[in-house]
Each structure stands twice: as structure tokens, then as C-alpha cells.
Structure 1
Amino acid sequence: MNPSGRGSNEVAKKLLVAGMAAALAVSGVACSNGNNNGGNDGKSASPSAPSSSSPAASETASEKPLDKVTFTFFNGVAGEKDLNTNETTIGKALEDQTGVNFKIEHLVGDLNTKIGTMIASNEYPDVLVPDAAIEEVLKAGGFIALDDLIEQYGPNIKRVYGPYFERMRADYGGKIYFLPFSAQVGDFSADPNINQGAFWVQRRVLKEAGYPQIKTLDEYVKLVEDFVAKHPDEDLTGMVSLTHDWRFFATSNPPMHLAGFPNDGNVMVDVNTYEAKSYAGTDFEKRWVQTLNDLNAKGLFDKSSFVDNYDQYIAKLSSHKVVGFFDYGWQIGSAQNVLKDAARKDQSQDDFVYFPLAVTFDGTHDQYLDPPGWTSNRGVGITKSAKDPARIIQYFDNLLKEENQILKSWGIKGETYEVDANGRFYRTAEQIAKLDDTFNEQFGFKTYDWDWPQYNTSSTLADGNSLAPGYQPEVFQLSLTEGDKTILGKYGVKTYAELFDTPEDRPWYPAWSIPKEQGSPQQIWETKKDELLKKYYAKLVLAKPADFEGVWAEYTKEFGKLDTVGYETWYAEQIKKIVEVAK
């Protein structure tokens, strides 16, 4: 999730959240986008949540029925299915309430080309999620200011986003032009699973070693080396790494985590001084790539890591042949779900499920878990071409009613969740089992998992239930396999999160989401830095050990031509401003 967690939609989805993938993984359902929002499988519904056939579901948002209308909605993320929201259970219920349907179109081709065409023609869809091109849309005046609309029609928008209004206006000249994808509501609910970064290893490796405490990178590497050495006939791969396209951050991000920092992007931020320092070109990065170089020299690193695409990477993780790797939980969900599904049918297969380890260079103070975050450079806006901005903002406001956040998160009482005598939400094993990709798509969990105004994944409802089902203790515990319970018991914990240190409060988190204009010195620095990493990482990792220092010197010489001090200074200034506003 480098500032890039996804060169564009990258992190935005992946983070906060860590959400969607997080919640989905907890109940054994793969997330289509890999990240955030507490997940379809992780959202809530109250005892009074409307069912698709109940009177509540067809209640209108006003006193009299509204004429039905369809608005166009463009989402600048590729790989998703185009559809009308009213073709889903959730979308139909919302249409019954508001009279509004959205015809959603997703990106095909290059994002900048698509957005550039909109800007050049001065014609936009009614609603736009421009992803990484959001600054270009703002600069071109493509979004309308929402302040007056929110004042007139947005009581729930005020309730949910109100605490962030100052920051939203400070970033964009005193006006609100779009609604970020989520805002923290209620108490902070911790994710019991690991959907952010970790060093993963097959469970059988820990079992064979007697369930040791693995805290340092050196201990982790030795664990992997020893296991491969003991199983010479299995044709095992010690470690793989993901480098495909925007996902390259899975290979370049580890230095900051190993140094004890969370995923703030390209910088490590001191929580006391707010100084921001790049880890690229530092001893932290050198130690990481040299470790991979050493593994490669021993035949323990998969050289194909630098040419495999994402699907090939996931296939390898599912093959039982890969012993360990670093990655983000939301990004490996599909592989983990395949392995866990097999383990549910045959407990012996649990050996191949991956276990997360909080590894650092010195073995102390890890910060892999996300603190409460605020992603301010991704969101949804109403464009200057919108036919009826008032109806659209009313839809957004209606969506933010708690009963609708429950609907989009937990679903329908009696169908996708239950409520016990104490008012606690839970899911039965049968309900969890039916939440597969097809069901989630038809119900609308996938459509409403992100890209809309919503509560943050870690939010809680007014009655104390977690917004995200995957964060609800009752759901998490029920989703555990026998293998999960066994290995957690061996480490004396009930959740995976207990294996990691508590995240520190960071008002600016994640720093990668601080807006940067296209063509700004900061954006240019990031582009050039990424180009250097993609050029030199393969050389560094695959070099003969005797040649490593020479390649490193060549890399740092090129890196030294970048204005890293200027980049760091700019970041520190922005972070200090945010801290002041957040006080």
C-alpha cells in the first residue's frame, strides 16, 4: 500500500480500511477489490433493518413518493462489473426509499486518458469517482461545491462527516467538493484479523518448529530456510514477492514496517516531531533487499517474482509450495480463502494456511496495524453536468442513515444476520457459508463495499455493535476453523490482532492520502522514485552476492539525484498542518 497502495485506487481501498477484505476474509469470503470497508461481510444491520420485501424497505425518503430517476455514475477503477444499482437487493431497497437508481460504469483502459477526455469535452457523468485523477478533476472545475447542498439536504452527512469538515475544506480552498469514502463514527472497533501488512508463513512451519516466537527478520528467514532444508523432496519455494504493476508496493514497502512504522506511504513519520523521512535509499531498504539477495543466492527466492502477474502470484500461494512471503492481508484474501475452504473440508489441509507474523529488524515495537485513518484524496463527487444535484445529495444523505449503513454492511435480519436477546448482531454458520462472490454481487454487498459515502470499517453503531461483521467478536469467533483455534491457542491469544502491537495515534494517517497535484514536485518525486525501484530491485535481488554492493552504489547514486529533502520537508509541513487542525 505504498503511497501507492495501488498506484491509484491502490491503497485507498486497501487501507481503511483494511476493511472490506478484512471483513470478507474473516467470514471466508474473497474480496473483489482487496480492501477496505469493513466488508460486505463486515457490515451491520439493526434489529429493525429493512428487508427487501418489508414495508420499511419501500419507505420513501420524503412524505410523498418521488418520481424515479436514473443518474450516471463513473467509477475510475478497472475490473469491476457495470450495472444498475437497483439490480441488487440493497440498491433496490434504496431506490424504493429515494426513487434514485445509478447506472454505474467502470474504467476500461487508461484512467488519465478517460478523465482527460471528460475534462476536454467539459462533459461528465452525474456522479464521478475519479480515483487517482481526482486532483485533475478538481483543477478543471469538474466537481461542484457541496456546502450549500449539505446545509440544505444533508443532516446525516453533517453527523458523519462533520468532525472532518475543517480538514475537507482546508485541503481544497475552503469548500467541500467531494465526500471521502469513509469517516469514523462511534467508538473504534479493532479488526481481529490481519488485513494489513505481515510476514506470512505456512502454519505447518510453526507447528514443526514447536510454535516459536518469531519477532525479527533474521529469525523469520532462518525459520523458512530450516523448513525448506528439512523437506528437500517437496520442491518448495522459500519466499516469493509480488511486483506486478501497481502492486509493486508489496515488495518495496517492507523496509518501513521492519523499521517499526505503519503504512504511511513513502515516508516514515515520527509521532513526536512529525518529521517525515523516506526509507528508500536508506540502510533499512538496503538490509531488506540484501536479505532477498541472500535468499536468492541460496535458491530460496522465486526469481519469477519479477515477471509473474497477480493471478500467477495468487496461484503460487494456493499451491502449497510457497513457505513464506510479505504482503497485505487484503491482497492475499483469495488465496487464503482457497486454503481455508480446503481446511474446513479436511483438517490436515490447515497446515498450508498462512499465519501472520509481526516481524521487525530489532524484534520490538511493530506498527503493522492501522490506527484510525482518514483518506482525504479519494472520494465521490457530483459533477457540473449533474441533472439534479439535490436528488443525488439526498441519496447520499439517506445512505448514511444508520439503518442503511446496517443494510449495506450486515444486510437483512433473518437472511444475512441475526440479533440475540441482548441486541448483539451475529451470523449463523449457514449465513456465513452462503456469502460467496455470487451472493455478494447479487445482494449488493460488492456494489456498496466502497466508492460511496459511508461509515469507516472500524466504526461502531449507536447500540454498540460493530459496523463490520468481521469486526464483531461473535462473527469472528464463529468464522474460525479448528486450525485457527488450535494455532491461536498455541500462542495464547483469541484473535490474530493480539499478536501485533497496538497502533499509535496518528491524526494524519495515512500520509499517502495527503493530496498532491499532478505535476507537483512531490508527485514527480514519487513517479521517479517508483521508476528507480522497478528498475533496480530486480537487479539488487538477483545480483551475485559479490556484485550487490556495486549495484547498490549505482542505485543510490541515481536516487541521490532526486530532491528527497524537499519531498520530506513538504510532507512534514503538511503533517504538522493536519495535526493543528485535528487538535
Structure 2
Amino acid sequence: MVFTAACSKSNDNNGNNASPSATGSAPASTESAPASESAKPLDKVTFSFFNGVANAPDVNTNETTIGKILEDQTGVNFKIEHLVGDLKAKIGTMIASNDYPDVIDPDAGIDQLLDAGAYIDLTKYFNNDQYPNLNKVYGPYLSQMKAADGKIYIIPFSNVVNQFQPDPNINQGAFWIQRRVLKEAGYPKIKTLDEYTKLIEDFVAKHKDEGLTGLITLTHDWRFFATSNVPMHLDGYPNDGNVEVNMTTFDAKTYAASDSTKRWLQKLNDLNAKGLFDKASFVDNYDQYLAKLSSKKVVGFFDYGWQTGNARNLLTDAARQDPTQDDFVYQPMPLTWDGSKDQLLDPPGFVKNRGIGISVSAKDPDRIMAYWDNLLKEENQILRSWGIKGETYDVDANGRFFRTADMIKKIDEPFNLSFGFRYYAWDWPQWGTNSTLSDGNALAPGFQPEVFQMSLTDADKAILDKYGVKTYADLFAKPDDRVWYPAWGIPKAQGSPEQIWETSKDELTKKYFPKLVLAKPADFDKVWGDYLAEFGKLDTAGYEKWYTEQIKAAIEAAK
């Protein structure tokens, strides 16, 4: 399993309202957003929308500021239901009943729905003059959006419009640690996992009466990748999923049974034996995990920024109100086994196997597509990303978008929900997060250098200065170009050998990783041997051969 949609389903609270996308001819204001092009106002309609991630409360979009403006333009409202419980079980129930919401963004469950024939073919809406914005934004990507049968069933979220704008923040993988740990240790420049865990061990030992947890990991459902991906990153690779791609030969090799994975699990086993690892990591659900991260009791963890934003934002909001609370804010650190070049930041990429589609149960697909086409206008991408001029952003004499300190302060988590930034952050046809507007402004407020610097608190600036950088991304190595990236985004047919390998591998890791981490240290090697024996039954050579062929084909296609 790998992480979703290179994802950015989070609000980083550094002036980025969790809505990093937009492009086109930027108007000076969205105070009076454009009305529908139809001569007559359209009857209002509500469509059901299932979001396969539990990242916000359920809502009608017209209950938010952004959604109400879009409803005024189109007459369309969406009733969004977020995931509760197990994703596969939820989707399985839909499939069994053959009764689907109008719109589905199933995240990691997309293959289930495609295999069940749950989505309609969207091909006719592209290269269609009635949907000019869809074609403007997705036209360059149509060949990559086609399924094996040549049809288009899902619309992805990661396509870059105009110039690529790098993220100054960390929305991808990092080893996070409470700032108070670094402060107490004199702000050491740690580069290895051993240095990181030694810091945690020493800090917990000095604060025995605080009931601290040294390290936790996330293993719930499809999010298990937050634990199983770590060896790949420690080896110095970005998140290509189940493989590491050699940058000289471009051969793809799996790592789930590698010495690196053994070393990672042995480190967790050692931490567990010392009482520093949270055993509940293997039974906690996602909400419980986030609650622990925001409790101020967890010293460190590895995860992706987009996946932990809700918890970290609560700590950041508290620190803005009370600077003494900055001790509990998490600082991202780039680590490898030997302290060499990390590759935790994502290179430019296009994710093919995540997105949104219209179900076969949808009442009026044309109306939904018209809403999406309207949403893709540059002025509406500015609305969903920056908001309303004079309220959530402004424009200087040089045409540069910015936010004042007061604007940044008011855009906290409750505001993100009520205004709609949270709901329109991802999960829709959109300009990819790293896009720029037609006038050169960043689509994502948090990616705009002026906004990022303005959003930093004195404590943020102080710790960045301690490490000799201006942004969090400066702590990390620049990503190497990988034209196939991300490899996990290369589609696999349901029932194919590759898909079967991944399902079997996931079952084995979920079975054995808890045993390995929680075993008595003296029993670790025996359990590892049992795991290797089971893993050896998989056709790993065939999986690696298929992936190598796919990657080399992508390289050839890019020439």
C-alpha cells in the first residue's frame, strides 16, 4: 500500500488554506464571482458525494462560503459524506447493493469500483466545446487518464497547470519530533535514524513523570504504508510505493523483505523493549492516532505531512495563541540510514490511479460535469485556494497575492471548515497543488514565498534560523527528476499478477510486522525467518520485472 494522491489533504496553517490549486487569468477579486453563463437561473439540485477519507465533518457544500458562491453560479450543491470505518467494507456495501452516491472519490478503493463497473465513461466530456475549462486543464493529460479499455472513468487531482511551484513546507514524508526535544538538546543537526531515536530516548528519560510516548506509527487500514514505507525513505528514495528504482539502471526492486526493512523493524522492536514505542500503534484507528499526536504526549513519529495536518494544525493554532506552546509543535527532519542525501520531497509527477468519478447511479452527469467545468475557471480556482480579495487575501501594486498577519491568524481550522477551504482543498477536479496562476502567482497560498514568510511565527523563524534555512523544505535535499513518478500511480488491473502480489504482500506485512515489533528481542530473528519463508512464496521477481518494464516505457515515452 502507498499513500494517496501525493497528497495534500491537509491545511499546513502556514498561510496555505489547505486548498493549493488554481490557474488562468487571475481577476483582481472574487468578491463578485461570475454568474452562470446560462441566460436563465438553473433549478437548484443536490448531488451526493462520497469521500473515502475521514478528513472533515460531513457537510452540504452550500453551507460553506465557497460552496454557496458556487451554488449561486450553478444551482448545484453537494452533500458530502466522509468515510467512517473500513474503506473496503464501505465500498463493498455500495457494490453489493448496486446503489452508489452520484459522485465518488474513493481514494485507495478506486480499483474496487472500477472492477465493479461503478463509474460512467467521461470521455465524451473532453474535447467538447461545452466544457472548455475541463479541456484546458486536462487536455495535456488525456492519454494518461485513459483506462486499459481506452475510456476515461476518473479525473485526477495532481495535474500541474502553468509553471511548477515547489512547496516550502513539508506535506510529504518526514521524521517529526517535538521542538522542545531539539531545544533541550541544543538544536543538533540530526541526519540518521540512530541519532533521532537517541534524542527521543534521552528526552523521555529526562521527563519520566510526564507520561510520554517516545514513538508511534500509523497502521490503520490502507494507511499502513506510513509504517511500511519507512525503509524506502531511509534508503534514500522517494515514495514510489512498493519499489525502489535504481537511478542508473532504472531497475525496480522491492524492499518489503530487504535488510533495510529488517533493520527498521528491529529498531522499533528495540524501542518497544525499552518502553518507548506505543504498542497500540497496531490497533489504533486513524482518529485515535491523530488524537495522540495532538495530545502533546508523543515525542516523535514518521508520517506524511498531508496525513497528519489535522493534528499538527491544532498544535500550531495553540502556539499562535500562546507562544509557550511552540514546544509541542512538531519539526520535520530528513533522515537516512547513513546521513546521506534524502529524497523525501516529491519530484513533479502525475498520479493516475487516484481521482474522482461519476457513478452509474448519478441522476444528471451533465449537470455535475458543468459544475466541475465552472469550478476549473481560474477565478474559481483562486476562490477555492485564496478565497475572497480583501477578506482572505489581497494584491499588492505589483500584482502579487499576499495575506496580512491578521488574515493568516484568522484562517485556523474552524475557519477552514466554515469558509470551505477544507472541503475544496483536494477531492475535486482542480489545478494541481504545484500549479501557478496565469500571472505567475502560486495557486496554493502556502507555496507563495511572501505568504509563507508572513505566516511564520517568531518561534518558526527562530528554529529555521538555528538550522540555517528559510523554509522547512530547505532542510531536505532537492528531489531528482523521475519521469515515471510516482511508480505507485501506475495503474494495475484488478486480478492481475501485480495486483495480486500487492494484496498478498499487504496481508503478510500486516500479519508479521506487529509480531516482529512486539516480539521479545531474542525471538526477533526467528519471526523474521518465518516472515521471509512466507514472503518467498510470492512472485516477487515477476512483480519487479513488470515494474521495471513500466518504468523504462515511461522513460522512453518522455524522450
Q: Give your verdict on TM over 0.5.
A: yes
* Matched residue SS, 1:24: coil
Contact 1:46 1:413 in 2 (8 A): no
Aligned position for 2:141: 164
Query: In the alignment, residue 19 of structure 2 is paired with which amino acid?
Result: N
Query: In the alignment, residue 29 of structure 2 is paired with which amino acid?
Result: A
Label 1:205 to 1:537 Cα distance change in 2 as closer, same or farther (>3 A): same
* Matched residue SS, 1:102: strand
TM-score (norm 1): 0.88
Aligned position for 1:35: none
Q: Does 1:462 align with 2:438?
A: yes
* Matched residue SS, 2:12: helix
Give me the identity figure in percent. 65
| Residue number among 398, 405, 423 corresponding to 1:447 in the alignment | 423
| Residue number among 65, 84, 97 corresponding to 2:73 in the alignment | 97
Q: Give the Cα–Cα distance (whole angstroms) in 2 for the partners of residues 476 and 341 of structure 1.
A: 16
Aligned position for 2:105: 129
Label 1:108 to 1:239 Cα distance change in 2 as closer, same or farther (>3 A): closer
Q: Give the Cα–Cα distance (whole angstroms) in 2 for the partners of residues 86 and 344 of structure 1.
A: 30
| Residue number among 351, 375, 379 corresponding to 1:375 in the alignment | 351
Structure 2 matches for 1:173-192, cutoff 5 A? 173-192=149-168
| Residue number among 484, 488, 493 corresponding to 1:508 in the alignment | 484
Aligned position for 1:4: 2
RMSD of the TM alignment (CA)? 2.6
Label 1:175 to 1:335 Cα distance change in 2 as closer, same or farther (>3 A): closer
* Matched residue SS, 2:237: coil
Label 1:231 to 1:445 Cα distance change in 2 as closer, same or farther (>3 A): closer
Label 1:319 to 1:83 Cα distance change in 2 as closer, same or farther (>3 A): closer
Aligned position for 2:28: 48
Q: Give the Cα–Cα distance (whole angstroms) in 1 for the partners of residues 344 and 479 of structure 2.
A: 8
Q: Give the Cα–Cα distance (whole angstroms) in 2 for the partners of residues 478 and 413 of structure 1.
A: 17
Q: Deviations over 1:108-145 (max 9, x none)?
A: 66655655565566655443334444334444544333
Instruction: Report how far residue 384 of structure 1 moved.
Output: 4.3
Query: In the alignment, residue 491 of structure 2 is paired with which amino acid?
Result: P
* Matched residue SS, 1:200: strand
| Residue number among 523, 529, 537 corresponding to 2:505 in the alignment | 529
* Matched residue SS, 1:74: strand
Label 1:148 to 1:244 Cα distance change in 2 as closer, same or farther (>3 A): closer
Instruction: Report how far residue 451 of structure 1 moved.
Output: 1.9
| Residue number among 383, 392, 402 corresponding to 1:426 in the alignment | 402
| Residue number among 56, 61, 66 corresponding to 1:85 in the alignment | 61
Further displaced range: 155-164 or 142-151: 142-151
TM-score (norm 2): 0.91
Q: Deviations over 1:485-512 (max 9, x none)?
A: 1110011111000000011112222222
Label 1:553 to 1:483 Cα distance change in 2 as closer, same or farther (>3 A): same
Instruction: Report how far residue 419 of structure 1 moved.
Output: 0.9
* Matched residue SS, 2:78: strand
Q: Does 1:409 align with 2:388?
A: no
Instruction: Report how far residue 195 of structure 1 moved.
Output: 1.7
Further displaced range: 432-441 or 561-570: 432-441
* Matched residue SS, 1:239: strand
Label 1:119 to 1:234 Cα distance change in 2 as closer, same or farther (>3 A): closer
Contact 2:50 2:101 in 1 (8 A): no
Q: Deviations over 1:399-429 (max 9, x none)?
A: 1111111011111101111111111111122
Q: Where do 5+ consecutive residues of structure 2 fail to align?
A: none
Contact 1:68 1:99 in 2 (8 A): yes
Label 1:121 to 1:544 Cα distance change in 2 as closer, same or farther (>3 A): closer
Contact 1:166 1:581 in 2 (8 A): no
Structure 2 matches for 1:269-284, cutoff 5 A? 269-284=245-260
* Matched residue SS, 1:332: helix
Q: Deviations over 1:176-213 (max 9, x none)?
A: 23211231111111111112111122222222322222
Aligned position for 1:322: 298
Aligned position for 1:70: 45
Contact 1:182 1:453 in 2 (8 A): no
Aligned position for 2:457: 481
Query: In the alignment, residue 317 of structure 1 is paired with which amino acid?
Result: L
Contact 1:24 1:42 in 2 (8 A): no
| Residue number among 540, 543, 558 corresponding to 1:567 in the alignment | 543
* Length, aligned pairs only: 556
Aligned position for 1:490: 466
* Matched residue SS, 2:306: helix
Query: In the alignment, residue 157 of structure 2 is paired with which amino acid?
Result: F
Structure 2 matches for 1:519-558, cutoff 5 A? 519-558=495-534
Q: Deviations over 1:159-183 (max 9, x none)?
A: 21122112123x4332323211231
Contact 1:202 1:355 in 2 (8 A): yes
Contact 2:20 2:443 in 1 (8 A): no
Contact 2:42 2:75 in 1 (8 A): yes
Q: Deviations over 1:504-548 (max 9, x none)?
A: 112222222222233332222222222222222222122222222
Aligned position for 1:290: 266
Instruction: Report how far residue 85 of structure 1 moved.
Output: 3.0
Instruction: Report how far residue 467 of structure 1 moved.
Output: 0.6
Contact 1:150 1:393 in 2 (8 A): no
Query: In the alignment, residue 139 of structure 2 is paired with which amino acid?
Result: G
Instruction: Report how far residue 441 of structure 1 moved.
Output: 2.6
* Matched residue SS, 1:40: coil
Q: Does 1:262 align with 2:260?
A: no
Contact 1:28 1:341 in 2 (8 A): no
| Residue number among 295, 319, 332 corresponding to 2:308 in the alignment | 332
Instruction: Report how far residue 97 of structure 1 moved.
Output: 2.6
Q: Give the Cα–Cα distance (whole angstroms) in 1 for the partners of residues 329 and 27 of structure 2.
A: 35
* Matched residue SS, 1:355: strand
Label 1:505 to 1:397 Cα distance change in 2 as closer, same or farther (>3 A): same
Contact 2:22 2:435 in 1 (8 A): no
Q: Give the Cα–Cα distance (whole angstroms) in 2 for the partners of residues 226 and 78 of structure 1.
A: 36
Aligned position for 1:36: none
Q: Give the Cα–Cα distance (whole angstroms) in 2 for the partners of residues 226 and 125 of structure 1.
A: 51
Label 1:106 to 1:336 Cα distance change in 2 as closer, same or farther (>3 A): closer
Q: Does 1:391 align with 2:367?
A: yes
Aligned position for 1:147: 123
Q: Give the Cα–Cα distance (whole angstroms) in 2 for the partners of residues 380 and 310 of structure 1.
A: 22
Q: Where do 5+ consecutive residues of structure 1 fail to align?
A: 6-10, 30-38
* Matched residue SS, 1:26: coil
| Residue number among 331, 345, 360 corresponding to 2:336 in the alignment | 360
Q: Give the Cα–Cα distance (whole angstroms) in 2 for the partners of residues 305 and 136 of structure 1.
A: 27
Further displaced range: 486-495 or 565-574: 565-574
Further displaced range: 361-370 or 87-96: 87-96
Query: In the alignment, residue 528 of structure 2 is paired with which amino acid?
Result: W
Instruction: Report how far residue 553 of structure 1 moved.
Output: 0.9
